[in-house]
Amino acid sequence: MFWYTSPLFGSMSCLQTDMTRPFNQDLLETRIREINDALQTLQAMLEKRFQELSLVELFAIRYLVIQLVEAAASICIHLIAVRFNERTEGFPDCFIQMGKREIIPNSLAMRLASIGRLRNLLVHRYWTIDDELVYSACKSGLTNFSEYVKCIRDILDKGG
């Protein structure tokens, strides 16, 4: 059991988890590095206006979104499996489950689930993608991953 300050309500909340099963620290640290590396690369690309981006850069943005979601979901899947001995039904559901269990704020979980659905479109329906919408989503949504990493770091700093 550990305590955290709820960003939504500002009060202390308690999360009951199975503290006897340890997290795979190497996995979590590797995925956090992947998220941070992808964020850094994306932020540099997003300094350009959409019209200035080459086709290669637009495809790179798509790939980096996929990489961000998959790294974040890998953390999510691991946390839920280790602490709750449960599986999730895909990337969007993984984030929703974290919100329901108050591992991350529910509002963040919903935003990450939406980005998870974007990842699914990029992978499975890539021919229908509007790159300008992807660009706009990235410009407004990258902070979600920074907030997510902060939540995961808080869990790790408290000993899991």
pLDDT digits (tens, 9 = 90+) for 5-62: 333 333 333 344 445 568 888 899 999 999 999 999 999 999 999 999 999 999 999 9
Q: Which tokens is 50 given?
A: 């959409």
Q: Are 26 and 74 in contact (CB under 8 A)?
A: no
Q: What does the DSSP 8-state code read for residue 23?
A: P
Domain ranges within the chain, ordered by starting residue: 22-157
- Quick: pLDDT tens for 60-91: 999 999 999 999 999 999 999 888 888 888 88
pTM of the model: 0.82
Instruction: Pick one of 1.20.120.580, 3.30.1370.100, 1.20.1110.10, 3.10.450.50 as the CATH number of 22-157.
Output: 1.20.120.580
Closest CA to 80 of 107, 109, 117: 109
